Amino acid sequence: MRTKMRLLGFRGAAVKPLNEEAAAELGAELLGEALVFGVGGLCLYLEYLRQAGQSRRREEHLERTLSELRGAIEALQRDLAELRGQGGQGHP
């Protein structure tokens, strides 16, 4: 009961001792609530990790694609420069 009163914000309040049945019921209720909040928090944390991993994989894929496109553009620019160089030499 003291723990529940502290959680509710009451400090130093005098609490009459509970009988064993009421104490067990209150303890079970407190434990059940803690378990529910713990499982909920764990689910939120795991979902956050999943989303962060998915975002990281998407970012890596985009970076890889961008790198491939840059390489292809550089290759096309080299080919174009070679063609321009050959075109000037073959024709008067």
pLDDT recorded at residue 15: 65
DSSP classification of residue 9: T
CB-CB contact of 56 with 30 (8 Å) = no
Question: Looking at 6-10, 18-22, 46-50, which range is the least confident one?
Answer: 6-10
CB-CB contact of 26 with 18 (8 Å) = yes
CB-CB contact of 5 with 13 (8 Å) = yes
pLDDT digits (tens, 9 = 90+) for 72-86: 999 999 999 999 998
pLDDT digits (tens, 9 = 90+) for 33-71: 999 999 999 999 999 999 999 999 999 999 999 999 999
| SS3 (DSSP) at 20 | helix
Which tokens sit at 59?
Answer: 């970012």
Domains of the chain, residue spans: 19-87
pLDDT recorded at residue 28: 92
Averaged pLDDT, 1-7: 72
CB-neighbour burial class of residue 76 (10 A; exposed 0-12, middle 13-18, buried 19+)? exposed
